[in-house]
Amino acid sequence: MMPPCCLRPLPLEDHPMIEKTDEQLNTRSRTLLKKLIHSYIDTGQPVGSRTLARDKEVDLSPATVRNVMADLEDLGFLASPHTSAGRIPTAQGYRFFVDSLLRVEPLAMQETSHLEAQLLAAQRSEQDVFNQASTLLSDITHFAGVVMLPRHASQQLRHVEFLPLSERRVLVIFVFNQQDVQNKIIHTQRDYSASELQEAANYLNQSFVGKDISQVLQGLKKSLDLARNEVNQWLNTALEVVDQSYSQVPPTDDCVIAGETNLMDVAELSSIDTLRDLFAAFNQKRDILELLEQSIDADGVQIFIGEESGHPILDECSIITAPYQVDNNVLGVLGVIGPTRMAYDRVIPVVDITARLLSATLKAAS
């Protein structure tokens, strides 16, 4: 198995059912759940009791298997599609599988050497290395590979001013990095006084200097959640004005994404509406960057399954990420975005070793 430090799922405190069911599931239930998930990942078809009963390692009658599967469904680990008598894993089932049942082996030396050679071959520029890393993640997993560029490459807020105009308009003046000044006129939901806007700008300048816009938005939303029982109009003002401005800030290459079209071949994501929303998210990068930001301080691999991402557009997806660094300084995060029905034992080591190799490549080039 990989060393424990390489695999860092989401904290169990965030999954209250895990601790409870960990004690309830006996060896038989664990074996059946593991077999069912492996079968579903391999075939994409709901798994019935007869299929599991035929497995030599199970050695149970179909009736007994049905009873165990019913218990697992009651616990929320399995679901029954309307079109089949078989079961499929839920996000909670995948989470228990990843945290408690999954064995992850490191990549073979030959695969690791191939990855390293491909990254080294791309050293014409730092940007080429990031592009190549995202492409490799996509090519190996057949999902979407994403690499967040180093923080120094993003637009870091230095100063902001809000000036009221007529007809519910506000002039927003952003100063990014050192001398990048951007002026925007936005339309708000109501009129704001000069004092309201000044108070909101003061809060932003005191709390978020040095952070990029996605971090500012994330911080504002978190502050509002913590103060939901209080009247903090200046927080609402700041959030609305920054949120309205965000879509108008010229896009930057905060992350590079490769292989988005691979997801068109995934049955669970193949509906027109799902693909349209996913490609919109990939194009705007906003939700993707916010998710990667959540992993910036993670110790090793981080796994988001379904709704754990906090972004509804990714509810049918799993995202596996890992930070990359130089001289113990975390520069960014890379990862793979695919369906919840993915071969976690295969994707996890790919993400982990790619992050390590990218770190080594950047260090050698510095």
Q: How many domains does the chain have?
A: 3
Instruction: Indicate which CATH number applies to the domain containing 20.
Output: 1.10.10.10
| Rounded average pLDDT over 282-288 | 86
Q: With pLDDT > 90 as the criterion, what percentage of the chain qualifies?
A: 45
**236 and 117, same structural domain?**
no
**pLDDT bracket for residue 10 (50, 70, 90):** very low
Q: Return the pLDDT at 31.
A: 93
Tell me which of 319 and 193 has the higher pLDDT: 319
Residue 250 is predicted with a pLDDT of 42
At 141, which CATH number?
3.30.450.40
Q: How far is Cα 338 from Cα 348, in angstroms, rounded to an integer?
A: 12
- Mean pLDDT to the nearest integer, 252-270: 87
Binned at pLDDT 50, 70 and 90, residue 302 comes out as: very high
Looking at residue 246, what is its pLDDT? 58
131 and 261 part of one domain: yes
Q: What is the pLDDT of residues 100-147, one digit of tens each?
A: 999 999 999 999 999 999 888 876 778 889 999 999 999 999 999 999
Q: How far apart are CA 299 and CA 360, in angstroms?
A: 17
Whole-model pTM: value is 0.70
Please list, in sequence order, all residues whose beta carbon lies within 8 angstroms of the beta carbon of residue 171, skipping any fewer than 6 positions away: 162, 163, 164, 165, 183, 184, 185
Are residues 262 and 239 part of one domain? no
Degrees (nearest 5) of the Cα angle 90, 93, 95? 115
159 and 145, same domain (yes or no): no
CATH of the domain at 190: 3.30.390.10
Do residue 192 and residue 259 come from a single domain? no
Q: Is residue 17 predicted with pLDDT exceeding 60?
A: no
| Whether residues 293 and 182 fall in one domain | no
Residue 32 has pLDDT above 90, yes or no: yes
Q: Tell me the average pLDDT of the chain.
A: 83
How far apart CA 319 and CA 336 sit, in angstroms, is 6
Residues 119 and 142 in one domain: yes
Residues 205 and 96 in one domain: no
The answer, yes or no, to whether residue 85 has pLDDT greater than 80, is no
Quick one: 207 and 280 in the same domain? no
Mean pLDDT of 215-225: 71
- 103 touches 115 (CB < 8 A): no
**Residues 272 and 339 occupy one common structural domain:** yes
Q: What is the pLDDT of residue 225?
A: 61
Given 192, 214, 246, the domain boundary residue is: 246
**Domain end among 246, 269, 302:** 246
| pLDDT at 86 > cutoff 80 | yes
- Gap between the Cα atoms of 190 and 233, Å rounded: 12
Are residue 345 and residue 293 in the same domain, yes or no?
Answer: yes
242 in the same domain as 299: no
Q: What residues make up the domain containing 329? A: 109-152+252-365
Q: Which of 68, 85, 101 is the last residue of a domain?
A: 101
